[in-house]
Structure 1
Amino acid sequence: MPKKSISSLELAAIVNELQLLVRGKVSQIYHQDKKELLLQLHAPGKGKVLLKIIPGKYVCLTEQKDTPLRPTGFCMLLRKHINNAIIRSIQQKDSERILIFELEKEEKFSLVIELFSKGNVVLLDKEGIIIGTLEWQRWKDRIVKPKERYVFPEAAFDWKKMSEKQLQDLFSKSDKKSVVVTLATEIGLGGLYAEEICRLLGIDKSISPREIDQGTIKKINKTIKEFLKHIETPQGYIYEEEVTPFPLQSQEEKKKTELYSQALDTLNPFQKVSPYDQKIRTLEKMVEGQEKAIEELQEKITLNGKRGDTIYESYAKLQKLRDIVDEMKKTAGWQEIETALKKEKKIKTVDLKNKRVLIDL
């Protein structure tokens, strides 16, 4: 299914890209659609820049400006308070899908853009009290409406600042069935990047997170740090159903853009896929999976065939070795047999506990 929203990691990439707007000014605000805001900004050294905000979906720079609708009440409220405001900072709330613009005019304001769940846009005063919100919302642990103090959702795991020890503790305590689910949900990378880590490191994504050893945890931590390095200067990579800020091994690239925003701006999050097209995509994925499974089986058949041929060619030697072991068992213990076998050059290891001998053919 085509991409509809961005992950925490992708928002971090966008935040890096939006730093060119800091010290710029809010020139105008439009409500292009019931679910879409457009901020016209003046960026230092760049001039007019348009910022598309689709709550619950994504934020990106754009060159597309549709004919604005009649301003909504919320749009008018934003114009009243933050038109001509200076952008002091743009940051992500920890590793959450929350973007915060710190603005200043005669007073200081915060514009909070929520990209999780249904999404929202909230304007706060300098004390953190809600002046206005795109949509009133009531959650079990917070209320988002004017005159209420804005409360951020309960913080999840902050993967941007985690240590190797924290990662190890999370894996050891995880109750998820597979490592890929732990990476996607508990760490918060999302399914796409969790799958990419497993692919890059050759990890069986279905194994339990508690089975991950220390060496693999070190590699996972290093790979996440490499992802962070990639998104410092993001570019856009467009695939069949994804757009990412750096290239992925698990996807076949179709197009590359200079900015990640340019790739995101090609999306249509409100486009509905017909049942017919969805069925075709499902069947195409099934065929792709079956072709991959066949390819892996062919590789196993070839490998096992070679192993069989090697064993057959060495059958006489192996049988002779087995006869020697059987004969020695009648008069000697396994310790003596081990000593005798280790004198043979082809013997790699002798496992007394399981009565096994590893031979290099």
Structure 2
Amino acid sequence: MEAMSSLDIAAIVSELNRMLVGGRIRNVYQINRIFIFRVRTSNEDFQLLVEPGRRIHLTWYERVKPRFPPPFCMTLRKHLKHGRILSVQQYDFDRVVMLNVGFAKNRVTLVFELFGDGNIVLLDEEGKIIVAEKYASMKDRDILPKKSYLFPPSRGKDPRNISFEEFREVLAGSKGKIAAILVRNLSIGSILAEEACIRSGIEKERDVSLLSDDETRTLFETLKGLLEEVEGGINSGIVLRSEEAIIVSPVKLKTYSGGEFSWKEFESFNKAADEFYSKREELIVEEELRGEAREEEDKIQRMLETQRETLQKMIEAEEKYRRYGNLLYENIHLVSQLLEAVISARKKNYSWQEIEERIKSAKDKNLAARIFAGVKPHEGRILVELNEELI
């Protein structure tokens, strides 16, 4: 499942500030790596879903919660339950969100890292780490208990605050295709970069060195307009292709309009994101369940095959030993004579080798000696041959 872009997160955070600030955290749940924060406001109850490294949005879908929460979830409950949400912030237009929670005597900050493998880190008032989902020592920062939390290095300029002069300098100091430069230097996703190009009437694959001053100004103003649309929280929706949801966006995309594409609008980006990601989550869960069912079916088939093989061996063994029993019964007189001769010799302290030699030398004269086929001293067994069967 693809991760949210910085623009997606900006839209989500803008709405969360309007909907959650002032509400109290009633509980925290963890379902694998999906975290649900139940928040009660004066008007409504909400569920904030966070999947580290992937997404953050409100959800109206119910999920089965585990009966026994994992230790990290229990720790979050201990530090967050009944706390009041003071603000929701996006750090530097990056894929990092901070949930500031206040209590009567202190406040804490919950940091959601929505890039890479993702992480959730709880900080005290001084910005020191209380607990983290995952601890790590990295080249530029450490995620360790009681250490000061450092944000990841910035991946580019914040397009919300950039001036036209700074924007022009970014383009002038870069080489390559326009859309790729916007993605690389302004922390915006490829979809928004392509949309800005299309709305400006500029080919996204065009080399940046060929842009005129007027085109640079148009591209800048178009990008700012897109960001204002995101802040305004209008025109959020999902791009459909043949009824299949392929993209969720906080702005209506001209890039995907007409032809095989259609647009399904939602009243908020949180609802659009919830519909898009939760439906995909259902498909993933269904596929996992199908995979588990196939694996279980294969396991049962292997067990049945093993049992069939074992049963066949038992049937063959039963037939063999029945045949041996019949042969021994039919020749009980000779077998008894042979056993008596061996027992007598052992009582006289003959070795097994001597017994074997004496019996073999008597085969021409003695019928009982003729069925003798050898001995297994370590097993205490005498072998006989009856009707070409070695018993």
Fold in common (TM above 0.5): yes
For residue 123 of structure 1, give the secondary structure of its aligned residue in structure 2.
strand
**Cα distance, 1:137 vs. partner?**
2.8
Query: 1:181, 1:254 → 2: CA distance?
Result: 25
Other-structure match for 2:269: 260
Other-structure match for 1:321: none
Query: 1:161, 1:221 → 2: CA distance?
Result: 12
Q: What are the within-5 Å matches in structure 2 for residues 186-335 of structure 1?
A: 186-235=185-234, 236-240=236-240, 241-251=246-256, 252-266=261-275, 267-268=277-278
Structure 2 length-normalised TM: 0.66
Q: Deviations over 1:146-172 (max 9, x none)?
A: 222110011231111000000111011
Q: What are the within-5 Å matches in structure 2 for residues 1-361 of structure 1?
A: 4-19=2-17, 20-31=19-30, 33-44=31-42, 46-69=43-66, 70-105=68-103, 106-155=105-154, 156-175=156-175, 177-235=176-234, 236-240=236-240, 241-251=246-256, 252-266=261-275, 267-268=277-278
Which residue identity lines up with residue 157 of structure 1 in the other structure?
A: K
Query: 2:51, 2:248 → 1: CA distance?
Result: 16
**Cα distance, 1:231 vs. partner?**
1.4
Worse-superposed segment, 152-161 or 264-273: 264-273
**Cα distance, 1:229 vs. partner?**
1.5
Query: 1:229, 1:253 → 2: CA distance?
Result: 23
Query: 2:57, 2:220 → 1: CA distance?
Result: 28
Number of residue pairs aligned between Structure 1 and Structure 2: 269
For residue 242 of structure 1, give the secondary structure of its aligned residue in structure 2.
strand
Identify the structure with the greater helix proportion: 2
The structure with the largest alpha-carbon Rg is 2
**In angstroms, what is the RMSD of aligned CA positions?**
1.8
Gaps of 5+ in 2: 241-245, 288-391
For residue 232 of structure 2, give the secondary structure of its aligned residue in structure 1.
coil
**Cα distance, 1:77 vs. partner?**
0.9
Query: 1:73, 1:246 → 2: CA distance?
Result: 39
Structure 1 length-normalised TM: 0.71
Other-structure match for 1:335: none
Which residue identity lines up with residue 56 of structure 1 in the other structure?
A: G
Q: Could you tell me whether the CA contact under 8 Å between 1:26 and 1:39 is conserved in 2? A: yes
Q: Could you tell me whether the CA contact under 8 Å between 2:196 and 2:226 is conserved in 1? A: no
Gaps of 5+ in 1: 275-361
Worse-superposed segment, 262-271 or 252-261: 262-271
Q: Could you tell me whether the CA contact under 8 Å between 1:94 and 1:160 is conserved in 2? A: no
For residue 183 of structure 1, give the secondary structure of its aligned residue in structure 2.
helix
- Higher RCO (C-alpha under 8 Å, 6+ residues apart): 1
Which residue identity lines up with residue 125 of structure 1 in the other structure?
A: D
For residue 100 of structure 2, give the secondary structure of its aligned residue in structure 1.
strand
Query: 1:253, 1:140 → 2: CA distance?
Result: 45
**Cα distance, 1:139 vs. partner?**
2.5
For residue 22 of structure 1, give the secondary structure of its aligned residue in structure 2.
coil
